[in-house]
């Protein structure tokens, strides 16, 4: 086989490979879960501009998460010892470490139970 013929054969093989159909790929959304300290606070006029009450299922997130995730109005789910609550981000917690949440009393009671626990480690994720 001449060099030209060999090159042509190789070129045809590469062309066929390039034109081969590619399987459909899907990208799964990965839910990032965090673990942090859960505390509670008495909401009022929050950083998102709404005025909320102790009985509302709302949360303040740490300032880094608040800014990075454009958190205002987003929902997240908190889980603790088999209980869970879905809360809406309405505020920024300036004293919280990254991953910590400051829940309204109603949200804290629903997922943690007794307000007397004050601070517990729990898991949370964006909904």
Helix (H) or strand (E) holding 16: helix 3-19
More confident residue, 98 or 15: 98
Residues 6+ apart with CB under 8 A from 93: 41, 60, 61, 62, 63, 66, 100, 101, 102
Q: What is the pLDDT of residue 1?
A: 52
Is the model's pLDDT at 13 over the cut of 60? no
Average pLDDT over all residues of the chain: 85
> Domain map of the chain by residue range?
33-126
- Dig out the tokens for 47 from the structure: 């950083």
Closest CA to 55 of 43, 46, 45: 43
Q: Is the pLDDT of residue 26 over 80?
A: no
pLDDT tens digits for 81-107? 999 999 999 999 999 999 999 999 999
Residue 106 pLDDT: 99
CA distance 71 to 93: 12
Q: What's the whole-number mean pLDDT along residues 32-51?
A: 96
Q: CA nearest 46: which of 102, 85, 4, 3?
A: 102
Instruction: Flag whether pLDDT at 7 surpasses 60.
Output: no
Please tell me whether residue 64 adopts helix, strand or coil conformation: helix
| CATH code, residues 33-126 | 2.40.40.10
What's the token pair of residue 45?
A: 């006029």
- Please check the confidence at residue 66 and state whether its pLDDT lies above 50: yes
pTM for the predicted model, two decimal places: 0.74
């Amino acid at each position: 086989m001449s060099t030209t013929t060999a090159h042509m054969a190789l070129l045809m093989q590469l062309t066929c490979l390039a034109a081969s159909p590619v399987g459909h790929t899907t990208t799964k959304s990965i839910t990032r879960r965090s673990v942090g300290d859960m505390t509670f606070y008495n909401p009022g006029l929050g950083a998102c501009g709404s005025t909320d009450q102790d009985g509302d299922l709302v949360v303040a997130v740490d300032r880094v998460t608040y800014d990075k995730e454009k958190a205002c109005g987003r929902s997240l789910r908190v889980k603790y010892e088999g209980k869970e609550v879905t809360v809406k981000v309405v505020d920024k917690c300036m004293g919280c470490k990254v991953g910590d949440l400051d829940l309204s009393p109603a949200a804290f009671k629903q997922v943690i139970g007794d307000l007397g626990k004050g601070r517990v480690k729990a898991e949370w994720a964006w909904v």
